[in-house]
Structure 1
Amino acid sequence: MKFDDYKIAPEIKRNLENLGFKRPTDIQYKSIPPILKGEDVLAIAQTGTGKTAAFAIPVISMLHDRKSSTRTEGIKCIVMVPTRELAIQITEAFDAIGGHTHVKTFCVFGGVDQDPQITRLEKGIDILIATPGRMFDLASQGHLKLDRVEILILDEADHMLQLGFLKDIQDLIKRLPRKRQTLFFSATIDETIKKLAYSMVHNAIRIQISPDNPVNKNISHSVAFVEMDDKRYFLERIIREHADSKILVFVRTKVRAERVAKALERMEIKSLTIHSDKEQTDRLSVMKQFRSGAAKVLIATDVSARGIDIPNVDYVINYDLPEQPENYVHRVGRTGRGTQKGEAVAFCSPEEKELLKEIETYLNRPVDILDISKDDYMATRDFSSDIVYDLKALMREAEELEKGRKKKKGK
């Protein structure tokens, strides 16, 4: 089946053709028809399957058709997402798919001045893409009217629950009309998510895309056994051997992100970091530089990079193994997008072997081991520029001690 076969607005069909969308992915093929019919949908699908387009295409088409026949004001659709980066990304996707239609999309998120957002809302929009905090701030101040919402979309619902947004979601439901269409999209499902989903949807069409291998077939992924203190040397080697490649490095905490960046700085390797401690303007700048290729190395935490679609990522490095095994799939899924090939390497220290076992259990298969000979291991460590830096630092320290001794003798 092709997108031309769907009963969607011709403007959207032209946009999809210009974007290079030819045939729907599995999640799009199964989601678009019931959404167009006005059905509630509960969809579970792994990262990189085309979930955003699965709901953007039919929703934009429906609202475009309604606006062509009637001129009603007010927000008609809310897309609730867990992070600011994801809000921006989804807005860009809606704008690209909805170009030349009557549908106006806008996103709001915290960390920036709300006044420009209020000004834009006052001009009127059809689709609001929002993070919970800023959306409730604007609603409580009277800048957001939610009484005419016809469609509610929850994207990355599992991640929203992980971040503690359950009460926010429940509060939002109380503000919306009871009669509405609800679309619930999540990468994973457990009892908490299932309970929330069924409290929101009505006679929902359930869609689950669960391939035998959760990792996209376009991605080669492997694990290297490396001592915790030696990881920076192997990261340096990969970066230097692939100087023209775009490399996304995942670490466990924001403190680790800055430490790794400092280590690379000592090696005279430029990198950027993204995590929750950064100001929103800095985060936007970082993503822009990495997306454009102006920066080749980005060090990220799971919270900041979950769900983000960054084009042409050649390598994903799991510098630290994730504590949640499903996050391994989300991380490596940042490469090998669409028809492109990607490569992912995980560094596993002795203290992380239990985490590796959990990941392999989740995948239902072992991760390929990247064999490193003893000589190769030692060479990687001994020829690192960070070792040279450490030696220089020790020599400077020795020289200062020697000067100190000479001064004491002189006295």
Structure 2
Amino acid sequence: MKFEQYNISPEIKKSLAELGFKRPTDIQFKAIPSILKGDDVMAIAQTGTGKTAAFAIPLLHRLQQQDRRYYKGKYEVKCLVMVPTRELAIQIAEVFQQIAQYTELSILALVGGVDQGPQIKILEQGVDVLVATPGRMFDQINQQHLDLSNVQTLVLDEADHMLDLGFIRDIRDVIKHIPRSHQTLFFSATLDKDIKDLAYSVVNNPIRIQISPQDPVSKNVSHAVAYVEMDDKRFFLERLVREFPDNKILVFVRTKVRAERVFNAMQRIGVKTLTMHGGKEQDDRLSIMDEFKKGEVKVLITTDVNARGIDIPNVDYVVNYDLPDVPENYVHRVGRTGRGVQKGQAVSFCSTEEKPILAEIQKFLGKEITEMKIAKDDYRETISFSEDVPNDNWQLLLDEHNKEMGMLKKKKKKKK
């Protein structure tokens, strides 16, 4: 079934056609009809399967059908989408805006880290769709710049991550501000007991949708693990970047300190990269994301701030420079590539001390990750020929010296 056959408005169909949306993905095919009917939906789907459009398309259509004459009051919101991070809020708002471009519907991303003045001006007129992070949202409620008393639909996106970040109280609090009778859409990439408990506490007889539960990672992503010692990882990252200079590469590290160290290592050898982590100001984070999305810089080094839900076009490689502490985060990281119908590669560098973490990840996936075997000579050459080694000739001479010393020791043993 094609989107042009759906019972949605001509304006939305027009924007979908221009955006290249021809046929729905599995999650869209299963979720859209139920959302159009006003059902509560609990959807568990892999990252990168088109979850945002799965709820944006039907919600925008339903909003469009309402009578505009007595539709919005001051500071009023009709659809509230709660998300865990600023970047995700901005991205989801952009998807809504693109799909609603030929309608009169208003969409606002309400996030912290930026001047609240422009946001308040938009809220004052009332908005159709508000995509918000909990902190800024409750701040505006307390300042009486936000009225949730007429919310018709509540969307909780990346619900598992919201739970991880301790937003459970915020979720329960927001329900107190909206009408008892409302539609709830609950989207998550993973499912465990805590997520189930949260879901069934906020939804009413939901339509449950689960896509590919046996394999939490998209089939479009090829996986490999390379056993590389911690101090040698920068050399192998350099090699990957130099071998694929035209590819867009997203590199995940464990901490913001590590991100800056890897950035400095790449800078020393003339590889242009960007860094993204929680220590960056919001305006800087937005400009960095924009630069990487446009492909002006091909390598982005980031913490898990970019592992959840962020849609970065045409990422060819995800590199787990450091393995994630939480196995579920592996799924979210590698989900930044192989999105939609595109193919992607995920490469993990695993040091000796990280092998227990790798075992946990493989247990979570229910399968082993293919090992990228590196011959000893190839391993040594990767380090020897790196531009991060001060003097390549000196390194090669040192290697030859070590070989000669080894041969001399063998000869002395034979003489004895």
Q: How does 1:44-55 map to 2 (within 5 A)?
A: 44-55=44-55
Matched with 2:88 is 86
Amino acid at match of 2:298: K
Which whole-Å deviations, capped at 9, do the CAs of 1:134-176 have from their partners, x for residues lacking one? Answer: 0000110000011111100000000111111111111111111
Q: Deviations over 1:198-246 (max 9, x none)?
A: 1111111111112533222222110000001100000011011111111
Q: Distance in 1 between matches of 2:391 and 2:272?
A: 16
2:289 is the counterpart of 1:287: yes
Q: Within 5 Å, which residues of 2 pair with 1:307-326?
A: 307-326=309-328
Residue 69 (structure 1) shift: 7.7
User: 1:398 is matched with which residue?
Assistant: none
Whole-Å separation in 1 of the counterparts to 2:221 and 2:153: 35
Distance 1:330-1:307 versus aligned 2 partners, 3 A rule: same
Deviations 1:70-110 (A, max 9, x none): 53433100000011110111011001111111311111100
CA RMSD of aligned residues (A): 1.6
**Cα distance change, pair 389–288 in 1 and its aligned pair in 2 (3 A):** farther
* 2:97 match: 95
Aligned to 2:408: none
User: How many residue pairs end up in the alignment?
Assistant: 392
TM, length-normalised to structure 1: 0.93
Matches within 5 A, 1:57-206: 57-67=57-67, 71-73=71-73, 74-206=76-208
SS of structure 2 residue aligned to 1:212: coil
CA distance in 2 between counterparts of 1:390 and 1:154 reads 54
Structure 1 stretches lacking a partner, 5+ long:
393-411
| Match in the other structure for 1:378 | 380
Q: Where do residues 291-302 of structure 1 align in structure 2 (5 Å cutoff)?
A: 291-302=293-304
Distance 1:151 1:215 in 2: 29
Verify the 8 A CA contact 1:276 1:304 in the aligned structure 2: no
Residue 262 (structure 1) aligned to one of 261, 264, 287: 264
Q: Does structure 2 conserve the Cα–Cα contact (< 8 Å) formed by 1:316 and 1:345?
A: yes
For 1:250, the aligned partner's letter is F
Q: Which amino acid aligns with 1:166?
A: I
- Could you state the TM-score of these two structures normalised by the residue count of structure 2? 0.91
Q: Given residue 351 of structure 2, which amino acid in structure 1 is its aligned partner?
A: S
Partner residue of 1:10? 10
The residue number in structure 1 matching 2:43 is: 43
1:353 paired residue among 352, 355, 362 = 355
The match for 1:276 is 278
| 2:215 aligned with 1:216 | no
**1:281-302, Cα deviation, whole Å (9 max, x unpaired):** 0100100100001111101111
* Structure 2 CA distance for aligned equivalents of residues 117 and 355 of structure 1: 43
Partner AA of 1:15 in structure 2? S
**Deviant stretches of 4+, over 3 Å:** 67-73, 389-392
Q: Distance in 1 between matches of 2:152 and 2:219?
A: 37
3-state SS in 2 of match to 1:347: strand
1:401 maps to what in 2? none
Q: 2:336 maps to which residue?
A: 334
Cα–Cα, structure 1 residues 389 and 60, in superposed 2: closer, same or farther, change >3 Å? farther
The amino acid that maps onto 2:304 is: D
1: CA distance, partners of 2:393 / 2:131? 52
Structure 2 CA distance for aligned equivalents of residues 194 and 211 of structure 1: 14
**In 2: Cα distance, 1:83 partner to 1:20 partner:** 27
Separation in structure 2 between the aligned mates of residue 229 and residue 316 of structure 1, nearest angstrom: 20
Give the alignment of 1:206-245 within 5 angstroms: 206-245=208-247
CA contact (8 A) 2:384 2:392 kept: no
Q: Secondary structure at the match of 1:386?
A: coil
Q: Deviations over 1:4-49 (max 9, x none)?
A: 2221111111111111111111111111111111111111111011
Gapped regions of structure 2 (runs ≥ 5): 395-416
